[in-house]
Amino acid sequence: MPPATPGAAREPIQNQFDISGLDLPDILGTINDEVRERFGEGKPADYIDALANVPLDRFGMALVTRDGDVHEVGDAREAFSIQSISKVHTVTMALDALGDDLWERVDREPSGDPFNSLIQLEYEKGIPRNPFMNAGALVVADVLLSAHERPEQALVDFVRARAGRVDIGADDVVAKSERESGYRNIATANFIRSYGNIHNAVDDVLDFYFLQCSLSMNCVDLARSMQFLACGGYCGVSGQQVVSAQMSTRINSLMMTAGTYDAAGDFAYYVGLPAKSGVGGGIVAVVPHVMSLCVWYPGLDEKGNSALGKYALHRFTQLTGLSVF
């Protein structure tokens, strides 16, 4: 049947912000059952000794709505190494400190290369492609070292305030292990320094970076810590406006285009949400204006993203229709 008005859509447009008709506990339960059938897929991040032997029999998922309601399933309260998810927290702090001047130090384009790649840095004279690849996160770390008297404490305070928990901290074993096996990050930081785009001592920048990667949090903490990106920059957990509404939209855009590295296109296609992954197996995602989510499964695919975490988010957008597209 043709639409009544020429040019009008056939389907009535649903209010994409209305989740009252969704049975979220049931949807999470279905995803949990499906994921557990597939335990064993992927492999842990074996280039960091402390993460190499994490068993592939854990899955957690949590979401936090705009109203602060929490839904969770599986191992959503088991802490894990947040790794590169911390890059969302640090870029938020750096944008708060420098505003758009940050973009003179780091670009905001997808890289199409692995998260630890150095290849574009020489062509682009020490300006990393985006703040979510390791090179960009090292520049962001340097910005925070310049902006804060006690940068590590400032980061821990920021994450604690967003998650609403005072006992969040770094896992020293993971941080030490990262330093011991951190050949690429050490090379990257020194290479950027040679272009003058790191201003503080390289070792201090690396210490900060390894600390941020080694923060230990669970799915509920992480979903809460991203709630401000679902609420126009307002963090319901702390009652603070963290960044402007415009800036929170832009951080979501960065996650969409670069949050899952050289799989960002596939992620947009398969999941359809801004997301940020870490090699600890966590992935956070945002449904703008609706909710923030976190999934965790430690087996990674070849791009370094949680294999079943990605599957879980794919099923979530399929079952709820909550893709941004």
Ligand X SMILES: NC(=O)CC[C@H](N)C(=O)O
Point out the annotated binding site for substrate. 84, 134, 178, 185, 209, 261, 279
User: Measured from the CB atom, is 277 or 292 closer to ligand X?
Assistant: 277
Residue 297 bears catalytic tag: no
DSSP 100-143: GGGGGTS--S---S-TT--HHHHHTTT--S-TTSHHHHHHHHHH
Residue 84 bears catalytic tag: yes
Sole binder of ligand X in the list 278, 281, 298, 309 (CB under 6 A): 278
Residue 277 CB, shortest distance to ligand X, in Å, is: 7
DSSP at 83: G
Q: Which of 35, 54, 87, 88 is catalytic?
A: 87
Residue 87 bears catalytic tag: yes
Q: Which residues contact 301 (CB under 8 A, 6 or more apart)?
A: 42, 263, 307, 310
Strands 291-296 and 60-65: antiparallel
Tokens, residue 217? 């949090």
Q: How many residues bind ligand X (CB under 6 A)?
A: 11
By CB under 6 A, residue 279 contacts ligand X: yes
Nearest-angstrom CA–CA distance, 252 and 247: 9
Nearest residue to ligand X on Cβ basis: 84
By CB under 6 A, residue 309 contacts ligand X: no
Residue 169 CB, shortest distance to ligand X, in Å, is: 17
Only one residue has tokens 């993203």, namely 305
By CB under 6 A, residue 304 contacts ligand X: yes
Q: Does residue 43 sit in helix, strand or coil?
A: strand
Identity at 89, one-letter amino acid code: H
User: Measured from the CB atom, is 284 or 290 closer to ligand X?
Assistant: 284
By CB under 6 A, residue 191 contacts ligand X: no
Q: Which of residues 67-106 bind ligand X (CB under 6 A)?
A: 83-84
User: Measured from the CB atom, is 114 or 232 closer to ligand X?
Assistant: 114
Count Cβ neighbours within 10 Å for each residue of 140-155 and write b for 16 or more, e otherwise: bbbbbbeebeebbebb
Nearest alpha-carbon partner for 77 in 224, 278, 274, 287: 224
By CB under 6 A, residue 229 contacts ligand X: no
Nearest-angstrom CA–CA distance, 237 and 216: 19
Residue 4 CB, shortest distance to ligand X, in Å, is: 50
Beta bridge partners of 234: 241
Residue 29 CB, shortest distance to ligand X, in Å, is: 29
Nearest-angstrom CA–CA distance, 44 and 66: 33
Which residues participate in the annotated binding site?
84, 134, 178, 185, 209, 261, 279
φ, ψ of residue 295 in degrees (nearest 5): -120, 155
By CB under 6 A, residue 117 contacts ligand X: no
By CB under 6 A, residue 178 contacts ligand X: yes
Residue 261 bears catalytic tag: yes
Sole binder of ligand X in the list 134, 257, 260, 292 (CB under 6 A): 134
Residue 277 bears catalytic tag: no
| Chain residues in the site for ligand X (CB under 6 A) | 83-84, 115-116, 134, 178, 185, 213, 278-279, 304
Give the residue numbers marked as catalytic: 84, 87, 209, 261, 279
